[in-house]
Amino acid sequence: MSGTRAVATFAVTGCTAFMAALDNLVVATALPTIRSDLGASLEELEWTVNAYTLAFAVFLLTAAAVGDRYGRKPTFLAGLVLFTAASAGAALATATEVLVAARAAQGLGAAVLLPLGLTLVVDAVPAARRGMAIAGLSAMSGLGIALGPFVGGAVVQGGSWEWIFWLNVPIGLVLLPVAALVLVPGPPTTARLDGRAVVLVTAGLLGVAYGLVRTGSVGWVHPEVVGAVVVGLALLAAFGHRQYRSTAPLVPPHLLARRGFALAGVVALFAQGGMFGTVFLLTQFMQDVLGFAPFEAGLRTLPWTLAPVAVAPLAALLADRAGTRAAMAVSTALQAVALGWFALVVAPDVPYVALVPPMLVAGSGMGLFFALTARQALEWVAPAEHGIASGVNNALRQTGTVLGVAVLASVFAANGGYAGAVQFVAGLRAALWVGALAVAVAFVADLLVPRPVRPDPVVGSSMSV
């Protein structure tokens, strides 16, 4: 393949990776405005975030199989069409139910774009440059995560919350013909797609997430909550059982049987849950309690969200010298300390300068986490299994986001709420301690990860977000 086409393939997939990652957090700074304009409840605000991440997490594993079965290029283009159309649908929403549905469709589109974009880049570039290409694509995703709150705040301040979604539409319309022209289609295969497994894992995760989100409105022991969680867990257990019997499992059981890989998944799940559940509430605290306008709030999160960009390039060096386990332990320890620090200093009249040090500590931990979480998982699998192993690890992290937002919002509602600054801080402080506990669980799990038999030098150069 020519160098020009390889560069064009990277440009297309890099832009889509940036958009998909940006939409994880771009809505965070707009939540107070959405709550005001649409009269959204806390539960509905949770779903504006969780609908995206839940669809993303559930279909991330399925997308690769669909691409293998029907062709990577046409599947990628279909994902781009869906993401662009869903962005327009979200921008046009006049009710929270419509917004949540559009966000779910966005998440499904993003679940197609990210894994297939990575595969298309790997196929397009020479073997000697694949590590650099993967790192570059992951850096684009990282930049999207970092700039999400800032971009959301700037857009809402300059116009209205709808424009955080309208931004994707012209970009998608430009990328579509370019992608159709430059991407090279892979040949369809006879790969099987286990439809029953997809239904089981989708319904199971949705049941658990729905039950946890409803706790903020009806309490933890309400029959609706208990029933949804129990049914969700039962469906997930049935999904796990089916994976052992399937000839084409979405999650190969032999991967989870490896202690190192399984514990790396626990680290990813709990660390991501603690981090993103906290971001969901702290971005609202900056506006609802401290009184910053959306752009000012987004600007003031930059010490937190840009720190990973500065730290990530050093992560591979640290992991090479001290080992991935030690570097990830530093990551989770920094984040747990930062969330506890936030819990100690938040108050209705806390000066912004008091929030900057824990932001920098949290961001440094996030930078190490984003750069090394894939490496920690892939150290336990053969090169031929990197694709599925990366997908499983990524799905666990996105599931962590869903559960983290749901659990921390429920703790927030049980201990405080939106009635006033004092109540908001009371709920936020309790949620921060729970978030710190979740990341501390990830820290302990990381200490239990055994030393790998062989490190993978290729993986060390990449960054996953």
Do 206 and 86 share a structural domain?
Answer: no
CATH code, domain with 154:
1.20.1250.20
pLDDT recorded at residue 453: 60
Which contiguous run of DSSP H or E holds residue 355? Answer: none
User: Last residue of a domain, which of 180, 204, 233?
Assistant: 180
Do 201 and 161 share a structural domain?
Answer: no
Do 419 and 451 share a structural domain?
Answer: yes
The answer to the question of residue 281 being in a domain is yes
**Residues in the chain, total:** 465
| Residue 237 phi, psi dihedral angles, 5° rounding | -65, -40
Identity (one letter) of the amino acid at 77? L
pLDDT recorded at residue 463: 37
> Do residues 32 and 287 touch, judged by C-beta distance below 8 A?
yes
Do 323 and 216 share a structural domain?
Answer: no
The answer to the question of residue 417 being in a domain is yes
The answer to the question of residue 185 being in a domain is no
Domain total in the chain: 3
pLDDT mean by block of 10 residues, the chain; 465 residues:
74 87 78 83 79 78 75 90 96 91 93 81 71 65 72 78 90 93 71 78 82 76 90 92 82 84 92 85 86 83 80 80 90 96 95 94 88 80 71 78 82 86 94 96 94 52 38
The answer to the question of residue 164 being in a domain is yes
Do 362 and 303 share a structural domain?
Answer: yes
pLDDT recorded at residue 445: 95
Closest to 41 (Cα-Cα) out of 418, 305, 350, 338:
418
pLDDT recorded at residue 447: 94
The answer to the question of residue 187 being in a domain is no
pLDDT recorded at residue 454: 52
Do 259 and 212 share a structural domain?
Answer: no
What span, in angstroms and rounded, lies between the C-alpha atoms of 186 and 121?
A: 12
Do 40 and 6 share a structural domain?
Answer: yes
Do 317 and 220 share a structural domain?
Answer: no
Do 149 and 261 share a structural domain?
Answer: no
> What is the distance in angstroms between the CA of the first residue and the CA of the last residue of the chain?
28
31-38 vs 259-288: helix crossing angle, rounded to 10: 60
pTM assigned to the model: 0.78
Task: Tell me which residue range forms the domain holding 209.
Answer: 194-247
Identity (one letter) of the amino acid at 22? L
The answer to the question of residue 279 being in a domain is yes
Do 167 and 299 share a structural domain?
Answer: no
Do 135 and 199 share a structural domain?
Answer: no
User: Last residue of a domain, which of 157, 180, 203?
Assistant: 180
Do 98 and 40 share a structural domain?
Answer: yes
User: Last residue of a domain, which of 206, 225, 247?
Assistant: 247
